[in-house]
């Protein structure tokens, strides 16, 4: 069943978790946290009959996106919300990123149609813009490792896994 939460509630919960999850070793930053879509988040639990390795992507993830010559604590704060996994070929995600003056990045978010496929022995979640940047994320233990070809992010789950 589709569960729709008000954007303000979701944003408060996600940002509270994002702030609480920031490591004590990180230096304080004046970075804006990622924003979420104006229509909120629409998470739908995956079908129990889907393989566990597919369902493992479902949930909320956070980390700092870093590129060449960017220190991890200066990376762009990023969230990935896997909203729905109807099948490996039909996945909905929201990618949100915060402001990073050093990286010339403005806070924004985007909802994408995604897919999960096996690549080099791992399940990989991928999505992107037509004729543009493609994002891919692979599970490694309890982390989600993402890349866009230039930068990299190591994400941790916000909240409990299914």
* pLDDT for 3 beyond 80: no
In angstroms, the CA 65 to CA 151 distance is: 7
Query: What average pLDDT does range 5-34 have in this prediction?
Result: 39
In-domain check, residue 133 = yes
In-domain check, residue 153 = yes
pLDDT of residue 81: 93
In-domain check, residue 66 = yes
Q: How many domains does the chain have?
A: 1
pTM value?
0.75
Under 8 Å CB-to-CB from 66, ≥6 apart: which residues?
72, 74, 75, 76, 151, 152, 153
In-domain check, residue 1 = no
In-domain check, residue 121 = yes
What's the CATH code of the domain at 130?
2.40.128
pLDDT of residue 27: 33
In-domain check, residue 120 = yes
* pLDDT for 41 beyond 60: yes
In-domain check, residue 83 = yes
Under 8 Å CB-to-CB from 7, ≥6 apart: which residues?
36, 37, 38, 39, 40, 41
Range of 26's domain?
Answer: 7-158
In-domain check, residue 2 = no
Tens-place pLDDT, residues 44-102: 999 999 999 999 999 999 999 888 777 767 788 899 999 999 999 999 999 988 887 76
Q: Report in angstroms the alpha-carbon separations of 76 from 16, 23, 26, 29, 65.
A: 17, 15, 13, 11, 5
């Amino acid at each position: 069943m589709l569960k729709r939460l008000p954007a303000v509630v979701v944003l408060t919960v996600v940002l509270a978790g994002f702030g609480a999850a920031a490591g004590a070793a990180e230096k304080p930053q004046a970075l804006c946290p990622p924003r979420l879509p104006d229509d909120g988040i629409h998470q739908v639990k995956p079908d129990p009959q889907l393989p566990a390795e597919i369902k493992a992507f479902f949930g909320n993830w956070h980390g700092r996106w870093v590129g060449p010559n960017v220190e991890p604590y200066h990376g762009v704060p990023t969230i990935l919300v896997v909203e729905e996994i109807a099948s490996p070929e039909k996945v909905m995600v929201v990618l949100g990123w915060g402001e990073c003056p050093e990286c010339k990045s403005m806070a924004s978010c985007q909802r994408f149609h995604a897919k999960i496929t096996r690549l080099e022995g791992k399940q990989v979640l991928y999505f992107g813009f037509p004729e543009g940047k493609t994002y891919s994320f692979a599970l490694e233990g309890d982390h989600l490792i993402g890349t866009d070809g230039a930068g990299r992010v190591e994400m941790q789950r916000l909240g409990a896994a299914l």
